Structure 1
């Protein structure tokens, strides 16, 4: 059969949604390009066993829009896109599948750059790169973006702590990290080194054991997150964890984490604001990974990456200040900033 690309209908405001299939390679993937107003779309590839096509489409479109906003706020000269491969990364992923995925990306002729996300490693992306020059985040290039994501979240968390608690000293602050993947564990290490008291949760016992043994972390059951007495909540797993019910139970005064799409619905931002819980929008604080990837796309070095991490923290400080002055949520402030950027770069 070989590779087959099918354009699917998508909601207004999105440029393209493509279904990529290669039965011989076991590939079934969705690639969504939200916007190229600021440059070619860029965003990671996630592999996940979605229960339905509708779930996969909802995830990839939400993530693609988030990448537009993330790339804009980080000043990367890139638009937003995302891809998902439908399947179990632990059982279904093969070099053949990744090469077929690379051919699908290449067929989009440079309108979308791909990199790794949940379920995809730099080694996997190297297989895709044999079929396209638009696969980045390679070990021989910018490498694993996870450490840069963790560093950006940590820097922003300290900005938030200074705003909420009057100091960015994290000594003794009770911080709950939800999700101990590459980014979550790296963030937990930074928090431990900064003197924070860690509580962690994850679905994998090996990660929990490592956090307990190496970081003196207390273990929390996944369904007991919102029963903990904490100062800061750092969601670093999958999205949608912050529902209105969860916010009603949350004891933290600051939310800052690496997970994408943390708010289950837009109204949750208002619920957080009503409870005077400072929320740092995920697409702003978790941009370190795409900054690393963008450095590879643009041929830049570590100094360029660090300068853009500084820009993120400046934006977070500005959002918090304006949210107080204008009596609006940080999400409203951040969204308005991005929408202005896009409007200024979209042809009339």
Structure 2
């Protein structure tokens, strides 16, 4: 690793580099903020051009998890980890050895980091990590359907805010990325009467989902140019940049992908273009809500109540943003910071009295 690979600003409370040449492991754990509790966030496995870019993404996503978990009202801070690969993970035995070794690194943190599934990882991976002593989430059940349900309620709230109706009948939604979250979202939208088009780098998968929901397949190269009411990115991060934003032909952006915007300034540009953006860290919080309910012994009805509440939170944030003349991202971040400031103040008073 070259010094030039490392981001200029290291912004998290704790940054852990995990490396084991024998296991083929290179990974980063970013614990952003533990004001509310241990850092909670998924394990992403993908290719990165440099170690610095992996560190940068881990920190950005961890910071978003802090805001997500705070607004969700759950007792966790924000964290994220990324496992760097060279593309195809290769032999299943090699992957298992890599995941187990990473689980040891997580266990060594003594509960400071609570991992879950993310892009490129699965409940089976969480189980392997748990066998190495790590306290993991999602080892027994995939949270993706609940993440999708949260996005569904976010879309419905955004449509209501924009048009005044609760109905999704004939609302055209483009779902970009139809993995576990996107495919479930597409099905829920179609069941509610929406017109659903889909796009995915896996053409066969896109065709299967499109067939199931009665929609069209959109070539990945033309996603941003596709006319729709709602654009719902559910795949990779940072799909909306200042360069790509002008191509959008939608009125609402609300999806399951993390870190959708290249930077927060894009939120201002979206607002100027008349496009309503639901902050991704709110829309996709169904998964973390599911995890918390399960860890506290709750059942399906409790999960459903917690996830449905995302729609109410979106409505509240959109109305607050409109009244204050700020973007929904600005309103959401301000609320999260206010909550964290109160908690830090309470913690400081407790320490002073000890």
Give the alignment's TM-score, normalised by structure 2. Answer: 0.91
Q: Secondary structure at the match of 1:84?
A: strand
Q: What is the 5 A alignment of 1:172-321?
A: 172-321=170-319
* Corresponding position of 1:110: 111
CA-atom RMSD in angstroms? 1.7
Q: Secondary structure at the match of 2:116?
A: strand
For residues 221-276 of structure 1, give each alpha carbon's deviation from its aligned partner in whole angstroms, at most 9, with x where no partner exists. Answer: 11212222211110111111112233222221111100011111221100111122
**Aligned-partner Cα distance in 2 for 1:89–1:127:** 19
Q: After superposing the two structures, state which structure 1 stretch, 10-19 or 30-39, moved more.
A: 10-19
* 8 Å Cα contact 2:43-2:115 kept in structure 1: yes
* 8 Å Cα contact 2:197-2:210 kept in structure 1: no
* 8 Å Cα contact 1:19-1:31 kept in structure 2: yes
- Structure 1: gaps of 5 or more residues: 1-7
Q: Secondary structure at the match of 2:162?
A: helix
**Aligned-partner Cα distance in 2 for 1:212–1:193:** 13
Q: What is the 5 A alignment of 1:128-139?
A: 128-139=129-140
* 8 Å Cα contact 1:27-1:101 kept in structure 2: yes
Q: After superposing the two structures, state which structure 1 stretch, 89-98 or 244-253, moved more.
A: 89-98
Are residue 70 (structure 1) and residue 71 (structure 2) matched? no
Count of residues paired in the alignment: 338
**Aligned-partner Cα distance in 1 for 2:320–2:215:** 35
**Aligned-partner Cα distance in 2 for 1:90–1:195:** 39
* Corresponding position of 1:29: 27
* 8 Å Cα contact 1:234-1:255 kept in structure 2: yes
**Aligned-partner Cα distance in 2 for 1:267–1:324:** 17
* 8 Å Cα contact 1:137-1:296 kept in structure 2: no
Q: Secondary structure at the match of 1:113?
A: strand
Deviation at 1:13, TM superposition (A): 4.6
* Corresponding position of 1:4: none
Q: After superposing the two structures, state which structure 1 stretch, 32-41 or 16-25, moved more.
A: 16-25
For residues 51-110 of structure 1, give each alpha carbon's deviation from its aligned partner in whole angstroms, at most 9, with x where no partner exists. Answer: 111110111011111111110011111100011111135426521111111100000011
Decide whether aligned partners of structure 1 residues 44 and 270 sit closer, same or farther in structure 2, where only a CA change above 3 A counts: same
* Corresponding position of 2:90: 91
Deviation at 1:340, TM superposition (A): 0.6
* 8 Å Cα contact 1:10-1:17 kept in structure 2: no
Give the alignment's TM-score, normalised by structure 1. Answer: 0.93
